[in-house]
Chains A and B, each alone.
Chain A
């Protein structure tokens, strides 16, 4: 016998830790409960009502994201009744938004509503009529598109800004169909406490908040691919996914399972990546000739570098050669450089840029 409590999830006894919600437990099992206002980093909100389940003995279906599991509960996650309820909700939400292609470039969670529309065959026609949310086309910032026509008032953006960033830069005004996500005094984002960290963009389930820099690549035909890496800026070492289409780096996304950042980024990590494929990049080696730098082959430039170092050592002693390692390049750069100095000249004449 075990002390671990269990409840019945779709006929199967499942163990849980006291305090866990039905939804959290269901995530470890086969149950496929839909959500829209849920983000596992945030306090459960219970706003979208898509995660409703039936619990035996309860009069009405309950939101599984806010209902704490109790021993002996009998929970059914996909009865015809709750599925019909969910379909109606998705129909209602769909009817509120204009029909528009939501490109996956908009953000990490941008396909959540689209996916549910497909699952439930929801077109929005059944409740066609008034729409909610007004896009802020007047906000000229080149980073965050505020396409609130697509907003479903799940408040994930507002909550991530408050609970994860502790910035409280955005808020909700008005009620019902007039509900609008906004900043204090209904200003532009740059006039608010917004730091442009992009958290709201990446948690938005409809693409109402979108990565404007990424959308520059909307017309590229190649598939969108993700490569796990680490941000090149400060020493926090946030895990990121490098989003590429073919040979083009098109966006950066925070990694939800990154140990250092757990899904967070800042404005630099999120948006300051254009330097990689910038026209100013050095494209070929150069050597100085008659006072000017000119293009050279790798062979010529490498010979010139090796000869210059060797000549200094030969003519002025091995302590006339020095190297400065980078705090931005990977370990392999510094390791090879210090080995070149130590193995090549027998000195410890090496430093890195940490003193300035």
Chain B
């Protein structure tokens, strides 16, 4: 997030798009609900009538995969109505002229023809955000899990740059990170393109510094993404893999492909707290000690660095991951793995990261530092981009984005859109919530179908349905609800016995290689 969570109570116009926040980030949602209670206007863009949409002042119920069209239409209105923040554009951006020319083509009527949102509502949303003193954008995977995920994010950035709704309290571009330490996984260098602290691997200075620090010449080229690595494994080019705390088989798209890839490896090492579907395929399974048994650091969605602490003894023979991985390294006779505690590891991380340099284990215990914390004594940075952007020129660049259709679109054979997500009471593949009493609320997967569609397709509430895409088929129960729009159905991917990700995975964003998990044409057949 560009802004801290506390800023969520301060906008006068909230624009939440592709984020089922009450289900996926419930405590953050309480803050925008409070802002709305205090008078802020809430605009929610989502194909489904999610709880946030039900309480929104304006719900833009767009067709799945058409965010770019909606956002271009909004940019058109903001430009046409003279709501562009001229002084901000002049001082802090580049390529505004070409962008403002570009958006002239994309009228709200054109946008409506693609995204299905009435042009009048697009006008209303654009005018509200454009005229706001403090407009704030919030998004989650409804924006990124598309073949055009990068285009979607850039479209949102364009809106913020046009209006200057960035770098001030109650504004910003605020992605809500989905997992407790997914931000930290990137921060700590778990990326093929960056060392710790997002230092690019293809910068020769970084390459030299880390090669020296780690005692070995490291490639100056980026590595490959997990998506590509699994492809290589399926082709037989990848031979060994270590998977740490991820149930890849259930969470990733195209399950058959994923299983084939992992089975093809000579050595699969899985480090986890449960014998997940992924661990079942491993050659070596190493038991990790869990949350509440381990000391360490998490960084949250607002870049706040916080310590987690052990309260109970580790289960059985389980060990912290840093210990397990150091033991493997020492058996490979690698120097530099003589850690005796999580503190040793974290302090080394801080010493090598520009954005963590001013933090250490003890300071992280205060839980008040938002990175970047570039030097000791620095107070941290709750709000990004107040003065400039992290680009060579310090300016934000408008991107001329065009609408693209999803990788697969509905046709006579697969006439229904499937979109997937999470539900409040479950988390990912239920390795945790499935063992914590949450089945009381949600005991099984259900497919949410609009009442009129259910009638048309011969589906009954509580009945069973077979759902198939080009890649696979699952059977599940039907929930008739007007949360789903006509022609689009929804389910989560949480239940391993309803492996919805056997169906997904038609395409990937060309830059991030993130799968298009939010759009998948399917056909439905009632089970009688």
A221 within 8 A of B: no
Q: Which residues of B contact A235 (CB under 8 A)?
A: 25, 176-183, 300-301
Chain B neighbourhood of A331, CB < 8 A: 181, 184, 187-188, 296-299, 345-346, 349
**Known contacts A237-B304, A282-B273, A288-B283; A356 and B179 CB within 8 A of each other:** no
Is A249 touching B304 in the complex (CB atoms < 8 A)? Answer: no
| CB of A320, distance to nearest CB on chain B (Å) | 4
A window 205-222: CB within 8 A of B: 213
B245 contacts the other chain (Cβ, under 8 Å)?
Answer: yes
Check: B154 CB closer than 8 A to any chain A CB. no
A320, B222: Cβ atoms closer than 8 Å = no
Q: Inside 8 A of B324's CB, which chain A residues have their CB?
A: 302
- B6 / chain A contacts, CB cutoff of 8 Å: 259
- Is B85 positioned at the interface, with any CB of A under 8 Å from its CB? no
Say yes or no: A324 contacts B296, CB within 8 Å.
no
For B319, what are the chain A residues with a Cβ–Cβ distance below 8 Å?
A: 298
Which A residues are CB-close (under 8 A) to B437?
142-143, 213, 271-272, 274
User: Does A183 sit at the interface, judged by CB under 8 A?
Assistant: no
Q: Check A29 for interface membership: any CB of B closer than 8 A.
A: no
- Contacting residues of chain B (166-188) with chain A, CB-CB under 8 angstroms: 176-188
Interface residues contributed by chain B, number (CB under 8 Å): 148
Any chain A CB within 8 A of the CB of B90?
A: no
In the complex, are the beta carbons of A338 and B283 less than 8 A apart?
A: no
Contact A195 B178, beta carbon cutoff 8 Å: no
Interface string of A207-248 (1 = CB under 8 A from B): 000000100000000000101111111111111001010011
Spot the interface stretch: B97-105, B287-295, B451-459, B477-485.
B287-295
CB-CB under 8 A from A338, the residues of chain B are 188-190, 196
B316 within 8 A of A: yes
B325 touches A227 (CB 8 A): no
- Asked whether A78 is an interface residue with its Cβ less than 8 Å from the other chain, the reply is no
**Residue A327 at the chain B interface, CB threshold 8 Å:** yes
Which of B72-80, B326-334, B385-393, B408-416 lies at the interface with chain A?
A: B326-334
Q: Is B378 an interface residue (CB 8 A)?
A: no
* Residues 294-314 of chain B, each 1 if its beta carbon lies under 8 Å from chain A, else 0: 111111111010111111110
Number of interface residues of A (CB under 8 A): 109
Known: A259-B367, A281-B316. Is A343-B215 also a contact (CB below 8 A)?
yes
Whether the Cβ atoms of B283 and A283 lie closer than 8 Å is no
- Chain A, residues 323-356, CB within 8 Å of chain B (1/0): the string is 1111111111111111110111011111111111
Of A30-38, A69-77, A306-314, the one with at least 4 CB within 8 A of chain B: A306-314
| Interface-centre pick from A307, A311, A316, A339 (highest chain B CB count, 10 A) | A339
Interface assignment of A187: CB less than 8 Å from any CB of chain B: no
Interface set, chain B 252-301, CB cutoff 8 A to A: 252-253, 266-267, 269, 272-275, 279-280, 282-288, 290-301
Closest to A318 in B: B219
Q: Inside 8 A of A258's CB, which chain B residues have their CB?
A: 367
Contact of B286 among A238, A266, A305, A348 (CB under 8 A): A305
Given contacts A301-B285, A325-B188, 6 further A-B contacts (CB under 8 A): A235-B177, A260-B306, A271-B437, A337-B242, A339-B336, A343-B334
Q: List 18 A-B contacts (CB under 8 A).
A: A142-B440, A228-B309, A229-B308, A234-B26, A266-B27, A272-B438, A284-B317, A305-B269, A305-B331, A316-B239, A326-B181, A327-B246, A328-B291, A334-B185, A338-B188, A340-B242, A354-B185, A356-B517
Residue positions of B touching A, CB distance < 8 A? 5-6, 22, 24-28, 30, 33-34, 36-37, 176-193, 195-196, 201, 210, 214-219, 221-227, 229, 232-233, 237-246, 248, 251-253, 266-267, 269, 272-275, 279-280, 282-288, 290-302, 304, 306-313, 315-322, 324-329, 331-332, 334, 336-337, 339, 342, 345-346, 348-349, 367-368, 424-425, 427, 431-438, 440-441, 512-515, 517
Interface, chain A (partner B; CB < 8 A): 141-143, 164-166, 190, 195-197, 213, 225, 227-239, 242, 244, 247-249, 258-261, 264-269, 271-278, 280-288, 293, 298, 301-313, 315-316, 320-340, 342-344, 346-356
